[in-house]
Amino acid sequence: MEKLKPLFNLDDLKAPVLSGNGLTGKDILSVGQFDKYTLDYIFTRAKEMQNMVEKVGGVDLLKGKVLACMFYEPSTRTSSSFIAAMERLGGSVIPITQGVQFSSVSKGETLADSIKVLEQYADVIVLRHPEIGSAQVAADSASVPVLNAGDGPGEHPTQALLDLFTIKEELGSLDGLTVSMVGDLRYGRTVHSLTKLLLKYNVKLRFVSPEILRLPLTVMNQVIDAGVDVRETHDVSDVIGNTDVLYVTRVQKERFTDLQQYEEVKDFYVITPEIMEKAKEKMVVMHPLPRVGEIDPAIDSDPRAAYFRQARNGMYIRMALLAGVLGRA
Ligand code: ASP
C-alpha cells in the first residue's frame, strides 16, 4: 500500500467524476495528504451522509465490513462518532476503547503486532495513541487502511476535517475569514492539524495563548512560509472584535510533566457572555471538546456556539472517510 502520498495527485484533478476511488485503500495519517479537491470531495460526501441520516438514519453501504477501533488514550467523541459512523453505514465494530489495560498491550505486545493481529479481523483500523508518529508505524505494518485518530501532541486529521466542514456549514465559506485559536496551542493536536489545513485557504490566523503554550515553531514556520496574515497575542480581547471563528481549546493536562505549570495556566482563558458581547454577530465559537472550563456554559444557548453541532459533524465526516477508504463511496 502507498504511504503518506497525497490522496490525489494534481493530475487526478482532471478526473471526470468525484468518485471515492481516490480514497480507496488509503491511510489517513496527516492533513498534509489532502489537497483542496479532496477536501471538497469529502465535504460533499459528508453532506450527503448528513442528508441520508436525517432522512432514514442509516444504510447498508458498509454491510459486511468491520472496523477495529483501537484507543490507547481516552476518547468519547472520536471513538463514539467512528462507531456511530460505521454502524449507520451498516458495518460492525471491534471497540478497543476501554484503554490498554484490557488489551494484550498490557502483556507487552508491540503496536505493530497488535495492528497485524487486528487486520486479521478488520477491514479498517482507527488508532489513537500517545506517541507522535504512531499512526505511521501502524500504517507501515498494516495492509488495511489506518486512520489516525490522534497521535499524542502530533496530529488529529479527521478532527481537522470536521472542523473545516463545520466552518463551511456555519459561515458558508472558508475564504476571507479570520480564525482565532485560543488556549493550548502547544500541545493541542487539533490546532496543529486545523492550522495546516487552513493554510490552503485565504484566511487570517490569530493565535492566542499563554507564553508557555504558544504554537510550536514547526507549525508556525509553515504558517509564515505560506505568507498568511498572522498574529500572536496573550489576550483574547485583542482579537475578539475581528474574529469570524473563535476556536477554543482545553489545556492538555496529560502532556505536562510539571503539574504545577499546568495549574498556572489551566484557567488562563474563559470565554464568557461578556467577551461574546464584543464579538461579531455572525461568528462561531468552536471547541474540539471536552471543555474543562474554557467556555462558560451560559454561552451554550448563544446561536454562535457551534461546538455541539461540530461534534455531530464529526460523524458525517467519518462516515464519508470510512466509505471512501473502503471503496464504497
Ligand atoms: N478531543 C480532542 C483531542 O483528542 C481535544 C482534546 O482532547 O482536548 O485532541
- Is 82 inside a domain boundary? yes
Q: pLDDT (tens digit, 9 = 90+) per residue, 37-71?
A: 899 999 999 999 999 999 999 999 999 999 999 99
What is the atom index within ligand 1 of the atom nearest the CA of 190? Answer: 9
pTM: 0.91
Q: What is the pLDDT of residue 98?
A: 74
Whether residue 108 is found in the same domain as residue 161: no
Q: What is the pLDDT of residue 75?
A: 87
pLDDT at 3 over 70: no
- Is 23 inside a domain boundary? no
Q: What is the pLDDT of residue 28?
A: 94
Whether residue 173 is found in the same domain as residue 297: yes
Whether residue 45 is found in the same domain as residue 106: yes
What is the atom index within ligand 1 of the atom nearest the CA of 78? Answer: 1
- Is 19 inside a domain boundary? no
* Catalytic residue chosen out of the listed positions 77, 116, 280, 312: 77
199-227 average pLDDT score:
95
CATH of residue 170's domain is 3.40.50.1370
Whether residue 116 is found in the same domain as residue 189: no
Catalytic residue at 107?
Answer: yes
- The Cβ-side half-sphere exposure at 132, using a 13 Å CA radius, reads 9
- Is 175 inside a domain boundary? yes
- Is 24 inside a domain boundary? no
CA separation, residue 274 to residues 34, 218, 278, 304 (Å): 38, 34, 7, 14
Q: Which helix (H) or strand (E) holds 62?
A: none
DSSP 237-278: GGTGGG-SEEEE----GGG-S-HHHHHHHTTS--B-HHHHHT
Q: How far is the CA of 187 from the centre of ligand 1 (A)?
A: 10
Whether residue 173 is found in the same domain as residue 264: yes
pLDDT at 21 over 60: no
- Is 4 inside a domain boundary? no
Pairing, β 245-248 against β 284-286 = parallel
Q: What is the pLDDT of residue 104?
A: 66
Are 31 and 196 a contacting pair, CB within 8 Å? Answer: yes
Average pLDDT of the residues of the chain:
90
* Catalytic residue chosen out of the listed positions 38, 78, 97, 166: 78
Q: How many CB atoms lie within 10 A of CB 269?
A: 23
**Three-state SS annotation for 103-126:** CHHHHCCCHHHHHHHHHHHCCEEE
Q: Which domain holds residue 277?
A: 157-311
If pLDDT is split at 50, 70 and 90, which confidence band does 2 have?
very low
SS3 of the chain: helix, strand, coil, percent, to 5? 45, 15, 40
If pLDDT is split at 50, 70 and 90, which confidence band does 11 have?
very low
Whether residue 161 is found in the same domain as residue 306: yes
Q: What is the pLDDT of residue 100?
A: 61
- Ligand 1 contacts (CB < 6 A) are 150, 156, 189-190, 250, 288
Q: How far is the CA of 127 from the centre of ligand 1 (A)?
A: 14
What is the atom index within ligand 1 of the atom nearest the CA of 128? Answer: 4
Whether residue 173 is found in the same domain as residue 296: yes
Q: What is the pLDDT of residue 97?
A: 80
Catalytic residue at 77?
Answer: yes
Q: What is the pLDDT of residue 102?
A: 55
Q: How far is the CA of 289 from the centre of ligand 1 (A)?
A: 6
Q: pLDDT (tens digit, 9 = 90+) per residue, 66-100?
A: 999 999 988 888 999 999 999 999 999 999 987 66
Pairing, β 124-129 against β 92-96 = unpaired
First to last CA, the chain: 19
Whether residue 88 is found in the same domain as residue 201: no
Whether residue 145 is found in the same domain as residue 178: no
Are 179 and 245 a contacting pair, CB within 8 Å? Answer: yes
- Is 134 inside a domain boundary? yes
- Is 9 inside a domain boundary? no
Whether residue 165 is found in the same domain as residue 303: yes
299-311 average pLDDT score:
98
pLDDT at 261 over 50: yes
Q: pLDDT (tens digit, 9 = 90+) per residue, 117-165?
A: 999 999 999 999 988 899 999 999 999 999 999 998 888 999 999 999 9
Angle between helix 307-325 and helix 77-88 axes, rounded to 10 deg: 50
Q: Counting Cβ atoms within 10 Å, is residue 222 exposed (0-12), middle (13-18) or buried (19+)?
A: middle
Whether residue 252 is found in the same domain as residue 207: yes
**Structural domain count of the chain:** 2
Whether residue 98 is found in the same domain as residue 74: yes
